Amino acid sequence: MSSLQRLAACLMTLVLLAAPAARASGYERVAIPAEQGTLTGILYLPAGQGPFPAVIALHGCGGLWRAQGQLSMRHADWGERLAGIGFAVLMPDSFGSRGLGSQCGVKDLTVRAGRERVADAMAARIWLQQRDNIKPDAIALLGWSSGGLTVLTAIRKERAPIDGKPDFKRAAAFYPACRSQSESPSFSARIPLLILMGDADDWTPAAPCGHLAKAAQARGEQVGLVLYPGALHDFDHPRLEVKERENIAYSASSTGKVTVGTNMAAREDALKRVKAFLSAP
């Protein structure tokens, strides 16, 4: 075998070794046109040709990524699970797209849950609706913490799309900060909403979400609230030891300290509830 042939064989071996790793990641990186420039993100696709229902999943203040450019464990877990039951899952990177890291300790936010991130969710919806393998009238919203607050803002009646395209079908929010919405006299959900929280959450307390859900239900809106006894912020994380975090910009105690961690009973129930909710006709 000539040196050229040996080089070609080595290159082919490297390609074959790399291919399974690329497929195993489960997602592809995508670029989404937006008003303020290109919004980057990742897209999980189910097996098959589609068209698929879709979920736009909105990260919390920590962003999408962890060290060494790895997708955070929570987002990888949800992306793989939802793709496994037939959903395309688009996760816009609201912070990384703008050159920002974690915003959990930032008080003067430039990428706000109720403004820039709502615009990101709308851009993601339009981008998905232009794809042949996505059902344009079957796109849901899912968000965690500040991403959950974005969900609440995005589904208000006055925020309904005016682009002539189908609206979001339904929405689910994990431990959002409901206070600003519950205190707003104009809040009204235009699509079905499911809120999931721990009653021991000391980062985004459950009481304001309880007030919001009760008022929405009294108006006849389809807003449900699930409270998990003893569960904390991040209870749905696949594997997060209960711990105290510091330097949080907006903690309920105003000390900058919060407690987070997985609650397996709450997590397992939430996985089932959200899948059933998103799959409902």
Arithmetic mean of pLDDT, 237-253? 94
Residue 147, token pair as written in the block: 């991403």
For the cut 70, the answer to whether the pLDDT of residue 198 exceeds it is yes
Cα–Cα distance list, 46 to 53, 76, 97 (Å)? 10, 14, 25
Residue 200 CB partners (closer than 8 Å, separation 6+): 229, 230, 231, 232, 259
More confident residue, 139 or 2: 139
Tens of pLDDT, residue by residue over 149-181, are 999 999 999 999 999 999 999 999 999 999 888
Asked if residues 44 and 89 have their Cβ atoms less than 8 Å apart, the reply is yes
Of 172, 190, 176, nearest in space to 279 by CA: 172
Residue 167 DSSP one-character state = P
Residue ranges of the alpha helices (H) in 89-235? 116-129, 146-154, 179-182, 207-218
User: Position 96: which residue type?
Assistant: G
Of 149, 145, 86, nearest in space to 275 by CA: 86
Arithmetic mean of pLDDT, 20-33? 69
Residue 8, token pair as written in the block: 């070609």
If pLDDT is split at 50, 70 and 90, which confidence band does 261 have?
very high
If pLDDT is split at 50, 70 and 90, which confidence band does 21 have?
very low
Q: Where are the domains of the chain?
A: 26-229+264-279
Q: Which CATH architecture has domain 26-229+264-279?
A: 3-Layer(aba) Sandwich (3.40)
Taking the whole predicted model, whether its pTM rises above 0.85 is answered as yes
- Picking from 66-75, 158-167, 216-225, 259-268, which range would have the lowest pLDDT averaged per residue? 66-75
Respond yes or no on whether the N-terminal peptide bond of residue 51 is cis (omega within 30° of 0): yes
Residue 194, token pair as written in the block: 């499911």
Residue 15: the pLDDT is: 32
Of 111, 250, 108, nearest in space to 176 by CA: 250
Asked if residues 90 and 41 have their Cβ atoms less than 8 Å apart, the reply is yes
Percentage of residues of the chain with pLDDT beyond 70: 91
For the cut 90, the answer to whether the pLDDT of residue 182 exceeds it is no
Residue 254, token pair as written in the block: 């105003």
223-228 vs 193-198, strand pairing mode = parallel
Residue 261 to residue 202: CA distance in whole angstroms: 12
